């Protein structure tokens, strides 16, 4: 019982938010990481994990069968599900990918903004472990192990101020990182319509064109970024 009580206290202890300049600094660092190509190629793996995790989670919630997830060294990924080719479950599963990083960022912002930094880190670790069960390639396993080890180390050993700073940085990376892939897939589609991207597949099973789906992803992710900024930076507007 004492161990359970200690674990509960560890998970749910409240931490004071870092000073506003630190919060703003983490946002600037995250923005630069997403904007600078050489850095983006490294941090994009975390965004891809969230993207594919979104597909997988919604597939399971809507009754589809999840056959596996593959993560690739070029930061791409693919989630294999089985179910009706059309219909609500197919649409929601395809929708989830490009929205998942921003949704995760919003959820984590709510947790860290209310002082539950440790809980946010352990939630990320739990999601990684649940997702790792469905990884079907060696590189994907390695990527999940490295990501999970980093999150665990921060959650278990890092001082409180380091935990808070890195948690805020993770929130901003998810929120900013949700936007760039939408622009990237738009650029890739220009002059080449192979039908493999999420918006192209959505266009194939709905009457809505792929470009409209891309615009929806962009606006939704920008809106969630605005909410995150409002939550984490007091007096922003």
Dump pLDDT digits (tens) for 116-133: 999 999 999 999 999 999
Closest by CA to 81, choosing from 126, 136, 139, is 136
Q: 189 pLDDT band (50/70/90 cuts)? A: confident
Q: How many CB atoms sit inside 10 A of residue 9's CB?
A: 10
Q: 74 pLDDT band (50/70/90 cuts)? A: very high
For the chain, helix, strand, coil in percent to 5 are 75, 5, 20
Q: What distance, in Å, lies between the first and last C-alpha atoms of the chain?
A: 46
CA distance 170 to 76: 20
Q: Which residues contact 82 (CB under 8 A, 6 or more apart)?
A: 64, 65, 67
Residue 86 near residue 205 (C-beta atoms within 8 A): yes
The CA-atom distances, in angstroms, between 118 and each of 24, 47, 142, 159, 185 are: 20, 21, 24, 11, 34
Q: What is the largest CA-CA distance in the chain?
A: 63
Q: What is the pLDDT of residue 8?
A: 65
The stretches of 15-137 forming alpha helices (DSSP H) are: 20-35, 37-61, 88-113, 117-132
CA distance 119 to 132: 20
Which of 7-11, 32-36, 92-96, 211-215 is least confident? Answer: 7-11
pTM of this structure: 0.92
pLDDT higher than threshold 90 for residue 29: yes
Q: What is the pLDDT of residue 212?
A: 96
Q: What is the DSSP letter of 19?
A: P
pLDDT higher than threshold 80 for residue 6: no
Residue 83 near residue 90 (C-beta atoms within 8 A): yes
Q: Where are the domains of the chain?
A: 27-43+98-232
Give Cα 214 to chain centroid, integer Å: 18
């Amino acid at each position: 019982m004492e161990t359970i009580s200690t674990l509960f206290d560890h998970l749910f202890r409240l931490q004071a938010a870092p000073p506003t300049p630190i919060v703003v600094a983490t946002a600037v660092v995250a923005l630069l990481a997403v904007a600078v190509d050489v850095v983006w190629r490294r941090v994009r793996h975390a965004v891809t994990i969230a993207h594919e995790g979104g597909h997988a989670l919604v597939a399971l919630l809507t009754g589809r069968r999840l056959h596996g997830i593959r993560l690739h060294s070029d930061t791409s990924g693919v989630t294999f599900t089985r179910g009706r080719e059309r219909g609500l479950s197919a649409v929601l599963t395809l929708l989830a990918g490009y929205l998942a990083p921003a949704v995760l960022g919003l959820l984590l912002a709510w947790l860290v903004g209310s002082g539950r930094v440790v809980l946010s880190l352990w939630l990320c670790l739990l999601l990684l472990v649940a997702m790792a069960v469905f990884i079907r390639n060696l590189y994907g396993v390695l990527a999940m192990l490295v990501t999970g080890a980093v999150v665990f180390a921060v959650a278990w050993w890092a001082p409180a101020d380091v935990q808070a700073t890195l948690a805020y940085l993770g929130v901003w990376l998810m929120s900013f990182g949700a936007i760039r892939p939408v622009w990237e897939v738009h650029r890739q589609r220009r002059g080449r319509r192979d039908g493999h991207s999420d918006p192209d597949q959505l266009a194939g099973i709905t009457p809505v064109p792929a470009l409209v789906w891309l615009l929806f992803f962009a606006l939704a992710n920008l809106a969630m970024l605005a909410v995150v900024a409002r939550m984490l930076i007091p007096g922003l507007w």
